[in-house]
Each structure stands twice: as C-alpha cells, then as structure tokens.
C-alpha cells in the first residue's frame, strides 16, 4: 500500500499495520501503527520515522506503537506507546512529552440541555472568570515552597485536604491522583518558580474546558454508560483537558539536557537527539522519573482545583451546590506519562505520549465501581466536532500495553490553521451552530479549528475495530473555553 514513507508497511489485520525490523538499521522490535487504511495513508512522514526510531531504543519490549491519532511530535510521535524493561531499558522525556500528565477529566451532572441552554451564556462567562486560561495565566491558589512541595508529593489529595473537592473524587482518578516516588529535591528551582502560581489554570494551545451534551441517539453502550453515571436524555457533562503547565515543561527541559550528557557516559546512541534518554535504573533515570512524578502529581492537582472551580461556577449559576447538581467525577486519565507496570515479560516502564491507558474489566488498578466493566477512556475531539467516552478492554492489555488513542490528532500545523480561518470568523460560525466559545486569544482559537484535526469518529472506529477500546457515548459540545 502507498503511504508517506518508503518503508515496507505490512497489514497484520484490518486496523493494525507493521513495519518490520528490516526496514531501518538498529530496530530491535517491529513498529506497529493502528488505523484504517485512509488514516494510514494520511499519516505524516514524521510518524513513520519517529516510531521506527523508538523501535531502536535499548530495552524496548515487543514493539513500538503509534495510535490512529498519531502525528509528528518531539522525539516520539504524539500517539506513541513504548515499554522498556526496567533492568535493561531506558526512560526518555521525549516519550512522555513536555506537558507531563497532560490529561482528560470528565464530570457528569444531573442537568439537561433544556435546563442549561437558557443560562449557557451566563454559565460560560462564570466558568471563564473562575478558570484562568492563556499563556502565563495564574491561579487563585496562593502557596509557598513548602505547600508546593506537598502538591508535588500528594497530588490531588492535597487539594481535597484544602477543601478543593470531595474525598470520593480520588477513587476515580488514574493512580488515585498521586504517583508514588515523587521527590521535590529532584526538581529545579526554576521549574518550581514557573509552576507555583499556576494551580487551577487551563493554559493555552489545545487545552480547553468544554460543556457538552449526551443525547440518547449517541449512546452506544447504555449499560456501561450507566455505570459511569452517563444516562443520556440530553444530559450535561463537562470535560477538562490540561496538564502540568510550565512546571512540567521545565522538568522536561531540565532533564533533556542532563540526558544528552548521560548518554555519552552510558554509551547510548539514538537516531534522533530528541530521544535523549538514560538507563531507567541509573541515577539520572531515577532522578527524572521522580521529577516527572512531581509534575504528574501537580497536573492531577491542577485538574482537581479546576474541578472545584467548575462546581462553584455551576452552583453560582443554578443556585444549587455541586452535590445537589450531581457533579460527580467520572474519571481522570493521563496521556503524557511513564509508569512502571507488570506484564508477562516482567516490570516494564510504559511510555504513553498522546496515548491513554485503557484497562480492561477485572484490572486491580481500577476503582471497585468500574472493575466489572473496565476503565473509562476520555478522548477529546476538536471543539467543533465533539468527543467520545470509551471503555478499556482486556485485549488492550494483550496488544498495546493497556493503551489506546487520546484524541483526534492534528492534520494541520497551527500556522496553516490560522491561514485557513480567523478566530473571530470561527467563533461566529460556531455560535451559529449552537457552540458558545470564549477565548483569551482569537489567534489561538483559530489554531484549534476543526479543520486542523482528524475525523474523531474515524479514529475512534479504528480502535474499536481493533478491539482495544469500545465506544460508550459521544459528547457534543455546546460551550468551550480556550486559552
């Protein structure tokens, strides 16, 4: 089949494609790409180069993976998944991403579209006021170095203790909203300075806060949906997409410099300097892993404070508390992270960059309330096209290290998008289609136009047909806040 590479690409099954180890010198395992034929044909050249570069990294297990939303990224393709033996393998910031623990959070409500529509303008104004967005935005939570150290080590639990949420929220977060082994001593002062005032902020780029509606005709598995608290009937839900902001970015920047020197010391060579890495068990590798966990915990805390502010905004507009409005957390899942997980091969350091964990039924890492059906998987589309709630499968654990897609994936650069449409024009068009958008920057809004992204429905169909995730419900946007 002809696609954007001279490498041989073999179809293993309907939606699974493989590049053999013979296609690039140094490949230790094959590279696999998930997607329909149309998606594979449209993949940019960088995806093929990057996923095969990843397949050359020391200690890699089974194969290097790229999900159907994959596109060119820093080092790893965005949508990339790779697992490395803890004893012989490496850890790489390029396989985690600059925005450590960028992730998704979904909050359900008992409200319906009929109740929210008349107050939507006021609601979006209140949300825009309470949840700062944009480059350099500062949050309302003031803290000193000591309290920020606790955020780094306790994650979302720190927020609950401060009154920013409910204790039961913690049950419905990946890793309970806190990764162990976080040591603030491995984080630079510059990173702390960048992150200390950003708790409860969205940031910019493709991050957003979106009010959505779930209609009966877009419910694909009502039984699983009901387990997640999703009932349809034009139910209102809220989705949040953001991460560790400037703090995580600085952690990545700091350790990429450290790893460039460390590679020479350990005799490691890589196909691309953006894949700078160190042995996982080395001092440098463990220091980065610890600092990454600090950033990941800060991201969990960031989304938790935002959740508190969302509940406060809804309460102000509708005159009832978040509890009375049924504003329960459905789930919070990371899609830029590395974690140690157990597989038949043993303990592996699984890197997911623009890829989401998708645990199947029975996984001990799931909260008891979801163990019978599997993990909620939250996949964001563009602000024009809607998003999806999926559920993990046992096949994902067998085929993809328990991983799946995280969103729709870009097809157009931000510069190209801005040439295609103006922010003001896009905002007006979306309003005419019943989607109210508030943005800090009209230029930034144009970068996120729907035309810049893949068709989310086709990407979702790819992972469902491959058996690694199942559709539960589609979430249609009615209000969006962008940085």
**CATH number of domain containing 190:** 3.90.1860.10
Which pLDDT score, from 0 to 100, does residue 385 have? 84
Q: Is residue 434 part of a domain?
A: no
Which amino acids are annotated as binding site for Mn(2+), given as ranges?
99, 207, 241, 335
Q: Point out the least confidently predicted range of 106-110, 221-225, 448-452.
A: 448-452
Answer whether residue 7 shows pLDDT above 70: yes
Q: Which residues are catalytic?
A: 406
Answer whether residue 1 shows pLDDT above 70: no
Distances (CA, A) of 456 to 68, 84, 385: 10, 30, 7
Which pLDDT score, from 0 to 100, does residue 464 have? 97
Q: Is residue 63 part of a domain?
A: yes
Q: Is residue 228 part of a domain?
A: yes
CB-CB contact of 306 with 131 (8 Å): yes
Closest by CA to 474, choosing from 464, 35, 99, 281, is: 464
Sign of CA dihedral 366, 369, 374, 377: negative
Per-residue pLDDT of 244-302, as tens digits, reads 999 999 999 999 999 999 999 999 999 999 999 999 999 999 999 999 999 999 999 99
Q: Is residue 333 part of a domain?
A: yes
Which amino acids are annotated as binding site, given as ranges?
99, 206-210, 241, 335-336, 380-383, 387, 406-409, 482
Q: How many domains does the chain have?
A: 1
Which amino acids are annotated as binding site for GMP, given as ranges?
206-210, 335-336, 380-383, 387, 406-409, 482
Averaged over 67-81, what is the pLDDT?
97
Q: Is residue 244 part of a domain?
A: yes
- Residue 296 token pair: 């990941």
Per-residue pLDDT of 393-438, as tens digits, reads 999 999 999 999 999 877 777 788 787 888 888 888 888 888 899 9
Which pLDDT score, from 0 to 100, does residue 2 have? 66
Whose structure tokens read 């806190």?
A: 178
Q: Is residue 238 part of a domain?
A: yes
**d(Cα 452, Cα 51) in Å, to the nearest integer?**
22
Q: What's the first-to-final CA gap in the chain, in angstroms?
A: 40
443 pLDDT band (50/70/90 cuts)?
A: confident
Per-residue pLDDT of 204-260, as tens digits, reads 888 999 999 999 999 999 999 999 999 999 999 999 999 999 999 999 999 999 999
Parent domain of 185: 10-411+453-482
Who has greater pLDDT, 38 or 133?
A: 38
The pLDDT > 70 percentage for the chain reads 100
The pTM assigned to this predicted structure is: 0.96
**d(Cα 340, Cα 355) in Å, to the nearest integer?**
16
Q: Is residue 421 part of a domain?
A: no
Which pLDDT score, from 0 to 100, does residue 254 have? 98
Mean pLDDT in the chain?
Answer: 95
CB-CB contact of 372 with 361 (8 Å): yes
Sign of CA dihedral 242, 379, 293, 141: positive
Q: Is residue 67 part of a domain?
A: yes
């Amino acid at each position: 089949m002809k696609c954007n590479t001279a490498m041989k690409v073999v179809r293993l099954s309907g939606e699974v494609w493989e590049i053999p180890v013979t296609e690039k010198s140094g490949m230790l395992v094959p590279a696999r790409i998930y997607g329909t034929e149309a998606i594979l044909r449209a993949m940019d050249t960088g995806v093929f180069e990057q996923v095969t570069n990843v397949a050359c990294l020391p200690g890699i297990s089974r194969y290097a993976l790229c999900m159907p939303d994959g596109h060119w990224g820093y080092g790893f393709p965005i949508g990339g998944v790779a697992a490395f033996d803890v004893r012989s393998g490496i850890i790489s910031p390029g396989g985690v991403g600059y925005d450590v623990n960028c992730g998704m959070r979904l909050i359900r409500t008992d409200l319906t579209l009929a109740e929210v529509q008349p107050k939507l303008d006021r609601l979006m104004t209140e949300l825009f006021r309470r949840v700062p967005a944009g480059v350099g935005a500062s949050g309302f939570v003031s803290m000193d170095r000591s309290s920020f150290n606790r955020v780094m080590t306790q994650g979302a639990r720190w927020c609950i203790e401060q009154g920013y949420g409910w204790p039961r929220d913690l049950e419905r977060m990946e890793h309970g909203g806190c990764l162990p082994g976080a040591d603030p001593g491995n984080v630079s002062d510059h990173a702390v300075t960048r992150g200390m005032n950003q708790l409860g902020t969205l940031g910019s780029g493709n991050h957003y806060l979106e009010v959505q509606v779930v209609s009966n005709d877009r419910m694909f598995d009502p039984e699983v949906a009901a387990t997640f608290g999703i009932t349809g009937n034009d139910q209102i839900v809220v989705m949040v997409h953001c991460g560790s902001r400037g703090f995580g970015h600085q952690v990545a920047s700091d350790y990429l410099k450290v790893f460039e020197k460390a590679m020479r010391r350990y005799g490691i060579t890589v196909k691309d300097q953006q894949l700078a890495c160190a042995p996982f068990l080395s001092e440098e590798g463990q220091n980065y892993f610890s600092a990454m966990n600090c950033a990941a915990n800060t991201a969990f805390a960031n989304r938790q404070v935002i959740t508190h502010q969302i509940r406060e905004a809804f309460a102000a507009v509708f005159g009832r508390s978040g509890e009375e409005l049924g504003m329960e957390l459905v789930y919070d899942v990371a899609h830029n992270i590395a974690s140690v997980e157990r597989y038949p091969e043993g303990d592996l350091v699984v890197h997911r960059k623009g890829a989401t964990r998708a645990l199947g039924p029975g996984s001990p890492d799931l909260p008891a309330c979801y163990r019978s059906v599997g993990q909620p998987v939250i996949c964001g589309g563009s602000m024009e096209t809607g998003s999806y709630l999926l559920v993990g499968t046992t096949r994902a654990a067998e085929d993809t290290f328990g991983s799946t897609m995280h969103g729709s994936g870009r097809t157009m650069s931000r510069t190209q998008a801005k040439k295609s449409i103006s922010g003001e024009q896009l905002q007006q068009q979306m309003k005419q289609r019943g989607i109210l958008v508030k943005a800090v920057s009209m230029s930034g809004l144009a970068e996120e136009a729907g035309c810049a992204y893949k068709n989310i429905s086709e990407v979702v169909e790819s992972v469902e047909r491959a058996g690694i995730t199942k559709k539960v419900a589609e979430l249609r946007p009615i209000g969006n806040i962008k940085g």
